[in-house]
Structures are given as structure tokens and as C-alpha cells.
Structure 1
């Protein structure tokens, strides 16, 4: 099965031209240890498989605009366009594939994230604006790659759906089955989403906003005394391959955002739901390509 690869990859990008981070002193990331085995995150490539519920919706364009830092601009094609994902994944670093057997908790994680439509260098794009995940290695990977991850908890009703057929009292995972997910953080319920399986479709039939390129904002603050700028301020895109399984188009989607004392996600609450899906998928992230660096402009 051929992967779906982003159309905006730089020509001539060599997927094998990466540095062997295992040979770097201390390894790839903190904490630096003699053999690198203690790193929170090993070097790419990263391999993933899992399932997700995706809801495409529209928020208030004026509120979406407030989440777009320079040089991103509001979308012309779909101002206010948003996509929210609720995911259950397993992930391995290529040189540590046996961790899935030896230390499963190190490879299993859940997350929820919101993307909003925008424009970058005159082209329609998306950017991550909110991202919750339940494992430290995924959080660090997000910060390095430009996803604004925070620690949270995500629970879904579809993580073990393949076992429903084993008990006649469980609803069958088929047309009419309702899936749902809850995202919370620090004991606050933040977002609830649900939808109902309707019909199987080809991945290419999903809403175009899912396939609009996503730009990653890579930010690290400068902590010099008295300075409030950023030592790193880049925009990049991931180099990755994606494979889809049996995609379900869903109906009767619901999406509720709850007020929080520590978040501003309700500014992105839905005013209209456009589409919803259940997607089994696999993907591999090889690295990213930097498209903008404010320190070099």
C-alpha cells in the first residue's frame, strides 16, 4: 500500500541523510547519559500506528485570527476552519523497536489536538494551536518538532473496539456504533467529542481540511535576564509518510468545549460542525524542513 506523502516536500530531500544521533555525546535529548539510553526521546525516524476520531468544524474567524503569530495570516479559503483529533497511538523509535515488547507503557499514549486554518507565504495552510498528551516523550517530541504540547489525559471509547465481537452484549463496531472521547487536564474536563459510524469511505474522500499542509511553530524563549524575546522562532513542516486503514465517515457529531481556569481553548469552540471520521492509520516521521526563521530574516 503506497503511503500518502505531503505534496509540499522539498525536492531532493534525502530520507537517509540524517545524523546518527546515537553517536552524539550523551545521545539525542535530555537527560544526556553515556549511552543515550536514558534520553527522554531517541532520534528519528519515529514510527506510529493507532486510531483517531477527527471532527472538522468552524469556529469564530475573529477568534481564530488571535491564535496566528506573524508571519501567519488568516485563511482566505476557510477563515475559522478547525480540525480536532482525539487519538490513541503506539509509537517506537527505530533503534528501540523492542520497547513495545519490553516496556509497553513507554510506547503507548493518547492525545488530542486542534488545528486551525491559516495562510503561510501566500498558500493555504494549518497550524497546531492546542495539543494535550499524556506522556513526557511525546511532549518533548512535540516541542522539538513544533507542536504546542501540554500534559493532559485523553480517554476514548474505541481503543479496544476490536474485542467487542467477543461479547454478544457489547454493541458491534459497525454502522450506527457511537464513538466518543474526553480530553482533560489537571482534573478539569476540557473537551468532549462524539460521532456515529455511518459508512466506509476511501481516505481521499475525507474533508480537504484534513489534508491541508500543517506548519509547525518551533519556539523556545530566551531566558537572558531582562529579555523577553525568543532564542528560537521557526516555522517548519514535517517530512512523513502516512498509511490509512478502513476509514469511516461519521454522522451526528457533537463537540463540547468546557470553561477552564488555565486554558483559552473555548475561544475555538465550534459554531458549526462540517464533518467527522474514524481513522485507523500508521505514519512515520523522518524529520522536518524549516521554512522560516525569524532570527535569519
Structure 2
């Protein structure tokens, strides 16, 4: 019997070399969000099996997050390259057996441990380069803050090509926050099979609901926003380009993940 340990590969005698340590995974991050509408037919085209179109069929959100995270011992916080990462993603609204949910068809991230965690949870993460305006709680010129008139932006690129950019000009505090925050997120976990003659029979093909706990959110600032999605070789996110932009939001949000619910198994 093997004595190798580790939540992910590479597995070793100690398990310390795994790409990511086992859950629970604790997260906190700054978010820049733009709610918008895309072409309803384009949204329908990326809807996973098991989900149905939302009545507001084109409703989407683009999200940039500047994260800090750690496993249970928190040792990554003392070695920040292992705890800091940024990601940029798109979510669409949908229905699961009549319940309002969201799902993520496109997402980029800038660290391998976050990529691995994402695939485990059903997020279709790809590597990219993400940048987002920071604020530090001062009145200095280089710190836009969260006051009315403050301007924030975020960009995402991958393989040397621009994927997206967004901006927000803060008007004041939001009462409701982004539209995508409340519904649970449901994604498709999909791992192909390499066995000759069985390439069309995935090893894992299941619809999963994200489960989180100890959620905490700051006050939410809002204002008018802009959003652009750019076409690039090997990418299809631009099919969800905005036909109308709603509002932008700036907030800080955190939670813990140590569970995942399988909703439907297609394998």
C-alpha cells in the first residue's frame, strides 16, 4: 500500500509538495463587479447541462477579485506568494429545477494553486494576468478610496492578448449589492478520459453546487461602470460582450470552503 500523501499531485511522503493543501480553504478579497446584459442567445449557448435559462436570460456579471487565502494552519499568510492571487471571471444567471442560480463559463487566474482549487470545485480556470486598483484607507492621491468620485479599474489578459477591462466611478453606498451575489453558484466538474476509443466518455462529468460558510461582506459601494470583452485566439468569452451595462460595485468579501454538493452526475 502506498505511503504517499497529498490532497493533489505531486504526492510525496509528507504531502507538502501538493499544488494545494486540503480544505478548509479560507478566503478574503477585494472585488470589482460589473452587472450587465449580454445577448440571451449567447448566454444560452454556454449554459451547462442540467441548467435552464433564467427569465432575465441575458443577465451576467463580470468580476475581478484580488484574493488572500490560506488553508487551516494559515502558514501561507507568512509566505504571501502562496496566499495572494487575482482572478477575473464571468457569471451568467440560470435556473436549477426552478431555483435561481449562477454559473461561471469563463475565468482566468494568476496562480497554479488557485487553478487547481478551481478545477476541483468545477470552475473552468485558465491562466491569465489580472490587475485591479487598490485602496489603502488614506486620503493620498495614489489611493482612490471608496468615496464618491473615486475611480477604480481592472484588466485581464492571457497569452499576451487583452481579454477584458472594466471601470467603476463610485457614487455612494449600495443598498442591494451586485445581482450575482445572492444566488448559489453551480458549475460543471468535467475531467476527460484519455483511454483510446473512449475519449467521448468523461471520467468526471457532474453538476456541482458551491458550498461556503462563515461568509462576511463589507459595505458595498456602487456607481456607473464600463465593461469591454475582447476577442482573442482560442477564447470565446467575447460572445458574452455587453449589450447593456447596469451598475458597478466595489466591496470586500470573505468565506470558507470545505464542501461541495453534487447536484447531477452525467458520467
Give me the TM-score of the superposition, normalised by structure 1: 0.84
Secondary structure of the structure 1 residue equivalent to 2:203? strand
Q: In structure 1, what is the equivalent of residue 180 of structure 2? A: 209
The answer to whether structure 1 residue 191 and structure 2 residue 164 are counterparts is: yes
Q: Distance in 1 between matches of 2:185 and 2:4?
A: 33
1:52-131 map, 5 Å: 52-75=31-54, 77-95=55-73, 97-101=74-78, 103-131=79-107
Judge conservation of contact 2:144–2:151 (CA < 8 Å) in 1.
no
Judge conservation of contact 1:164–1:173 (CA < 8 Å) in 2.
no
Q: In structure 1, what is the equivalent of residue 207 of structure 2? A: 235
Q: In structure 2, what is the equivalent of residue 178 of structure 1? A: 151
Q: Report Cα offsets for 1:70-121 as digits up to 9, x if no partner.
A: 222211x2101111110101110113x12211x2101100000111112222
Q: More deviation in 25-34 or 175-184?
A: 25-34
The answer to whether structure 1 residue 288 and structure 2 residue 264 are counterparts is: no
- What are structure 2's unaligned runs of at least 5 residues? none
Give me the TM-score of the superposition, normalised by structure 2: 0.93
Q: Distance in 2 between matches of 1:269 and 1:171?
A: 28
Count residues in correspondence. Answer: 263
Q: Report Cα offsets for 1:209-248 as digits up to 9, x if no partner.
A: 3312210210000111022221111111122122001211
Q: More deviation in 185-194 or 280-289?
A: 280-289
**How far apart are 1:156 and its partner, in Å?**
0.8
Judge conservation of contact 1:111–1:154 (CA < 8 Å) in 2.
yes
**How far apart are 1:173 and its partner, in Å?**
4.0
Change (3 A) 1:72 1:26: same
Secondary structure of the structure 2 residue equivalent to 1:140? helix
Q: Distance in 2 between matches of 1:74 and 1:148?
A: 20
Change (3 A) 1:169 1:82: closer
Q: Distance in 1 between matches of 2:156 and 2:260?
A: 28
Instruction: Give the CA RMSD over aligned residues.
Output: 1.6
- What are structure 1's unaligned runs of at least 5 residues? 1-23
Q: Distance in 1 between matches of 2:174 and 2:27?
A: 22
The answer to whether structure 1 residue 162 and structure 2 residue 139 are counterparts is: no
Change (3 A) 1:32 1:250: same
**How far apart are 1:64 and its partner, in Å?**
0.8
Q: 1:246 aligns with which of 211, 219, 237?
A: 219
Change (3 A) 1:276 1:217: same
**How far apart are 1:138 and its partner, in Å?**
0.4
